[in-house]
């Protein structure tokens, strides 16, 4: 049983009241301050947009624990309903520090397990921050496997190695005979959206550690829904690419994300180069050209943040040469539904 005075019920974003969204926003910002203290609090409108914008290839369920009008814990599961990873469910559980070790997380986990079972998924994945070790300890008790470690890194723009960026750009001059550099700002062009979807699938070649996940494919519909989600959250995306002049083939790209809600922070997304064109300086060209554009056209940006798998030595080397420094680490876990059910049975 839950501690006296608490109520656990499903949270439906499409039916939630304004007061419930305020409570969710407060909980999420408490969790954010613990796990990523360098991030600014999310605005209420950002929370609502993230919760209510639907994507046809994703399905989620969420639950919350209430102490009167205060949301003191929340959890959820999300599954991909496309063509791949039909064995997998991603989950999250957040409990305010003052309410931990009172079986609340276990009660939420039971709801998640029922949801995962109903969706006929067999593997559960979750992530924890080194800033909040309680999450990792909870997953260890379940018997979860620590399958991939990643780093959250930050570049203070004033500390960027600008001379090195100029060297990279000068070295790229010799590449311009074979490749051209370009950029898409905002919505991807219709005539290239299929090729851009394939370009994003380059991230299937990034290190995945021991995570039991399949290669991801992207439909044109998914790419457009992603853009709709960003627009709903007031995010702007720049995607810089390199293209072979002779064939028109897209050879690599890098992406950044910015919001006027938090104008001093830039999110560095994926950077990928096709295997056939690696070790030629295309990645450094892309990164140097992008950060120089950011400095020129987004002068409000003071910090750039990105995440990298610790096994991704090539990208970590580029980022460290630019001046990125470690903020904290993430651990990505996986555990079978059967293990979770056995844990819950032992707790009942």
Distance CA 247, CA 326 (A): 39
Percent of the chain with pLDDT over 70: 100
The pLDDT of residue 188: 97
Assess whether 187 and 298 both reside in one domain: yes
Q: Are strands 303-309 and 145-156 parallel, antiparallel or unpaired?
A: antiparallel
Say if 154 falls within a structural domain: no
Tell me what pLDDT residue 1 has: 84
Helix H, strand E, coil C: the string for 226-272 is HHHHHHHCCCEEEEEEEEECCCCCEEEEEEEEECCCCCCEEEEEEEE
Q: What is the pLDDT of residues 307-338, one digit of tens each?
A: 999 999 999 999 999 999 999 999 999 999 99
| pLDDT in the model for residue 83 | 84
Are the C-beta atoms of 187 and 344 separated by less than 8 Å? no
pLDDT tens for each residue of 151-205: 999 999 999 999 999 999 999 999 999 999 999 999 999 999 999 999 999 999 9
Percent of the residues in the chain that have a pLDDT greater than 90, as a whole number: 95
What's the confidence (pLDDT) of residue 154?
97
What pLDDT, on a 0 to 100 scale, did the predictor assign at position 56? 86
Whether the predicted pLDDT of 45 surpasses 90: yes
Beta strands per DSSP E along 96-140: 123-129
Q: Which domain covers residue 109, as residue numbers?
A: 6-149+332-346
CA-CA-CA-CA torsion sign (180, 185, 191, 196): positive
Residue with the larger pLDDT of the pair 55 and 69: 69
Same domain, 52 and 84: yes
Q: Please check whether residues 135 and 204 belong to one and the same domain.
A: no
Q: 179 and 305 share a domain?
A: yes
Based on the domain organization, do 200 and 309 belong to the same domain?
A: yes
Same domain, 181 and 128: no
92, 166: one domain: no
* Mean pLDDT, all residues of the chain: 96
113/181 same-domain check: no
In a domain, 89, yes or no: yes
17: pLDDT strictly greater than 90:
yes
Pair 166, 123 in one domain = no
Question: Residue 348 pLDDT more than 80?
Answer: no
136 and 198 together in one domain: no
């Amino acid at each position: 049983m839950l501690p006296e005075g608490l109520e656990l019920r499903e949270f439906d974003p499409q039916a939630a009241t304004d007061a419930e969204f305020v409570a969710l926003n407060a909980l999420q910002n408490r969790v954010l301050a613990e796990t990523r203290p360098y991030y600014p609090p999310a605005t209420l409108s950002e929370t609502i947009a993230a919760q209510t914008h639907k994507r046809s290839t994703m399905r989620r369920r969420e639950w919350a624990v209430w102490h009167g009008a205060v949301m003191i814990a929340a959890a959820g599961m999300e599954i991909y309903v496309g063509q791949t990873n039909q064995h997998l469910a991603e989950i999250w559980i957040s409990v305010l520090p003052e309410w931990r070790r009172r079986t609340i997380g276990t009660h939420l986990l039971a709801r998640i397990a029922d949801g995962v079972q109903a969706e006929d998924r067999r593997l559960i994945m979750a992530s924890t921050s080194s800033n909040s070790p309680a999450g990792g300890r909870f997953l260890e008790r379940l018997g979860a496997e620590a399958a991939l470690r990643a780093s959250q890194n930050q570049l203070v723009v004033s500390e960027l190695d600008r001379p090195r960026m100029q060297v990279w750009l000068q070295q790229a001059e010799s590449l311009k005979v074979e490749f051209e550099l370009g950029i898409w700002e905002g919505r991807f062009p219709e005539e290239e959206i299929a090729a851009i979807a394939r370009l994003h699938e380059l991230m299937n070649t990034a290190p995945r550690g021991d995570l039991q996940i399949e290669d991801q494919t992207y439909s044109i519909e998914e790419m457009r829904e992603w853009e709709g989600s960003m627009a709903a959250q007031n995010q702007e995306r720049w995607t810089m690419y390199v293209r072979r002049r002779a064939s028109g083939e897209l050879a690599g790209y890098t992406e950044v994300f910015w919001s006027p809600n938090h104008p001093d922070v830039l999110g560095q997304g994926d950077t990928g180069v096709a295997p056939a064109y690696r070790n030629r300086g295309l990645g450094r060209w892309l990164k140097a050209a992008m950060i120089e554009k950011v400095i020129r056209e987004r002068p409000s940006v003071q910090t750039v943040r990105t995440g990298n798998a610790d096994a991704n030595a090539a990208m970590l080397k580029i980022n460290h040469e630019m001046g990125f420094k470690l903020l904290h680490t993430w651990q990505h876990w996986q555990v079978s539904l059967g293990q979770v059910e056995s844990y819950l049975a032992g707790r009942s």
